[in-house]
A and B are shown apart, each in its own frame.
Chain A
Amino acid sequence: MIQESKYEVVRGKVITRTFLMFTFFFLLSLILLAVRFTKGLGAVTNLSDGYPWGIWIAYDVVVGSALGCGGYALAILIYILNKREFSPLMRSALLTSALGYTMAGFAVIIDLGRYWNVYGFALPNRWNLSSVLFEVAVCIMTYTLILWIELTPVIAEKTGWNRKKLEKIVMVAAVIGLILPTMHQSSLGSIQIISLKKLNPLWHSGFLPLFFLSSVILMGYAVASAESLLSSLYFKRPFEMNLLKKLSIYMVYIGFGWIILRFIELIFWGKISLVFTQGFYSFMFWLEVALFFIPSYMLWKYRSQLSPRKIFVFSIIYLFAGAIYRFNVYLIGWNPGSNWVYFPSMSETLITIGIVSFEFMIYLIFVKTFPVLPAKEV
């Protein structure tokens, strides 16, 4: 499966100026985390009884895991639609996915008030099968493990482990790896169904799981494209233009499909007038739709003359679109009452930056140690 394409280790020193910058932010966040674990969540965050979830959930977990869906989105193309030509992009996408999900896991532990009780997920008498969050938590934990298993052939190539045995395990992992994100990425939307009146009707909908799932596939292709272009640039390698052009067309289809579905839902449930009458919320709705529309329109318009720059810029806009949609559902459109406000504190933001920096550090170490990026000759 994965070994159909050739990969190579990136040459160069691990410790560069960029690497040191990430290290700085990571260490800074460690100091703030010490405060969080000794003085409580209130000491570093602006969370409150009205807004029990802030950017650690909205960004690190919800957006973070969505950004980690490159591996999943490509796997749909490669294994379900049988488009094998995309497999050169697979390994690096898997690596970012594994890192994205692992970091989301760290963020959850930081965010949990009573983290020492998480072992409860291993005790069946505590399982609550009607809890959407239970399903999300178990799926995400399992999927993170699956992602690292899917990466073992990469390590095996370097260390010379028995690859035949590994292949069997990896095959099973790949199948499970297709099911789990379908479940938990849609359920990340279902989580907010229970918020009911607290989530503005522009976003509250029985279709939340479908909106989350479809936009996460789009974000997966966008992150795989952007990552491919960035690493080609950073490590001075040729661009994978043939693959990326095809991928952009898929993004256009999903992008337009998503917008159409969004409006159908609003019209069908009689909420369409809200797109003009909700003031700031209406503005955020239009911003969200515009961020989905602009890259879809532009990529379609220039479909015969796509440059690396265009694909990169519009992929990034797609990522912002998916991120803004998720922020709208989890924070901006979420209003527990007029007497509550939330804006992330400096410490809260720095901890998020620290987590992301750590993710970049591991990425840089990994691609310079193991064969992850596509070999140059292709």
Chain B
Amino acid sequence: MKEKPKNPDRREFLKKGMAAAVGAALFPGAVLASEEENSEEWYSMLYDSTKCIGCKSCSVACKRVNHLPPELEKDGIHDDAIDLSAKTKTIIKLYKSDDGRSAFVKRQCMHCLDPACVSACPVSAMRKDRTTGIVYWNGNRCIGCRYCMVACPFEVPKFEWDKPIPHIVKCDLCKDTYLKEKGITACADVCPTGAIIFGKRGDLLIEAKMRIKKNPERYNPVIYGEYDGGGTSVMYLASKGVSFQELGFPRLEKSPAEISESIQHGIYESLVPPFLALGALYFLLKPEKKEGKNDSGK
């Protein structure tokens, strides 16, 4: 008898639940559209490989302002990071081809417009700031599952394997350190040749296009990050004749997040009917339960 008045509530609850589910399925698309609209305003960096002299000042400044320990070589004197790691948020690498061409390339978090790590993180510990576009990590939420590392197409998030209380480490555009004090990232500020410039994404895109237009024989006509991986806030210019794949960047037409989410949402939209069928099954099971009772109670 008590159950009867509850039923309308439950129906109401289910209705609301369904509405919420449909809303959730539509909502991500809506969010994405607004993201793209103000991405021109987001903090960005433009790295020009043709201007870089490989002095690694950026790497040193990054370690200094973000309090990162050195990666000592066996002699114990040199900070000798060979790749991004939990101790190194940015690094200068040298590409050398067999036919003698060479180019420097700086690596750090790309601050994607539609980041795979943010899409992947189950507990929203990786977030993209809506006003600055900075992709940052929140240690109070992170469970250390490392799905962000699996998801990132640029191999950026790193993990402190040697610590019982490990952090996920990656560039956050000096969000709480240099940027807060000086309004610029440490790496861009110290660069002696202007190979790294800091600014709004819209402005940097214009600047990059102008450089290519002025010196078409000097530059690779592509700006890596303009559209790659759905667009990134850290963008790259390379010398003519040097491809971005040679510099170690993957060829990405869409953002991995978009591909993953479209498939996952697609499945769930097409799965709603079977779910309803299973609900009906619940009622089909009931009479047979009674038979079971009769059998056992005979």
A residues near B (Cβ < 8 Å) are 1, 3-4, 37-43, 45, 47-50, 52-53, 79-80, 111-115, 117-118, 120-121, 125-135, 137, 167, 171-172, 174-175, 178-179, 183, 186-187, 190-198, 206, 209, 336-337, 339
Contact = CB atoms under 8 A, between A and B. Distances in A.
A128 B252 contact: no
Contact of B161 (A47, A175, A336): A47
Nearest to A197: B250
B295 A134 contact: no
Contact of B147 (A131, A187, A197): A131
Contact of A80 (B160, B271, B281): B281
A33 to B, nearest CB: 12
Contacts of A175: 278-279, 281-282, 285
Of A40, A118, A192, chain B has the most CB atoms within 10 Å of the CB of A40
A167 B278 CA distance: 19
B102 interface: no
A131 B165 contact: no
A39 B89 CA distance: 23
Contact of A40 (B164, B282, B285): B164
Contact of B260 (A111, A125, A132): A132
Contacts of A42: 161-162
B176 interface: no
A49 B85 contact: yes
B108 interface: no
A123 B159 CA distance: 25
Nearest to A127: B124
B116 interface: yes
Interface of B: 24, 28, 83-86, 116, 119-125, 139-147, 149-151, 153, 155, 158-166, 250-252, 256-257, 259-261, 263-264, 267, 271, 275, 278-279, 281-282, 285-286, 288-289, 292, 295-296
A132 to B, nearest CB: 6
A41 to B, nearest CB: 6
B263 A134 contact: no
Contact of B121 (A49, A113, A118, A131): A131
Contacts of A121: 122-123
B225 to A, nearest CB: 16
Nearest to A118: B143
B263 A43 contact: no
A336 B252 CA distance: 15
Given A48-B161, A49-B149, A175-B281, A128 B256 contact: no
Given A114-B165, A126-B141, A128-B122, 12 more contacts: A1-B292, A4-B292, A42-B162, A113-B143, A117-B125, A126-B125, A131-B147, A192-B150, A194-B260, A196-B250, A197-B250, A197-B251
Nearest to A39: B164
B292 to A, nearest CB: 6
B119 A113 contact: no
B120 A1 contact: no
B289 A337 contact: no
Contact of A134 (B83, B123, B260, B285): B123
B164 A117 contact: no
Contact of B123 (A3, A4, A120): A120
Contacts of A171: 282, 285-286, 289
A79 B278 CA distance: 10
Contacts of A191: 147, 150
B274 to A, nearest CB: 8
A185 B155 CA distance: 27
22 contacts: A4-B295, A40-B162, A41-B159, A49-B85, A49-B159, A113-B143, A113-B166, A114-B165, A117-B143, A120-B141, A120-B143, A126-B123, A129-B24, A133-B122, A171-B285, A175-B282, A178-B281, A179-B275, A193-B256, A196-B252, A197-B252, A206-B263
Contact of B256 (A37, A117, A135, A194): A194
Nearest to A196: B256
Contact of B281 (A79, A114, A126, A134): A79
Give me the 5 closest cross-chain CB pairs, A-B, nearest first: A113-B144, A42-B161, A114-B144, A134-B122, A52-B146
Nearest to A135: B264
Of A1, A111, A121, A195, chain B has the most CB atoms within 10 Å of the CB of A195
Contact of B120 (A113, A132, A337): A132
Contacts of A167: 289
Contact of A114 (B83, B150, B166): B166
Contacts of B292: 1, 3-4
A178 B278 contact: yes
A196 B259 contact: yes
Contacts of A50: 155
Given A50-B155, A174-B285, A175-B281, A190 B146 contact: no
A167 B153 CA distance: 49
Contacts of A38: 164
A256 to B, nearest CB: 24
A114 B142 contact: yes
A56 to B, nearest CB: 11
Contacts of A172: 282
A106 to B, nearest CB: 15
A157 B285 CA distance: 22
Contacts of A4: 292, 295
A356 B34 CA distance: 49
A195 B141 contact: no
B190 to A, nearest CB: 26
A190 B267 contact: yes
Given A1-B292, A133-B120, A117 B141 contact: yes
Contacts of A43: 162
Contact of A49 (B158, B256, B275, B281): B158
Nearest to B168: A113
Nearest to A136: B122
B242 to A, nearest CB: 19
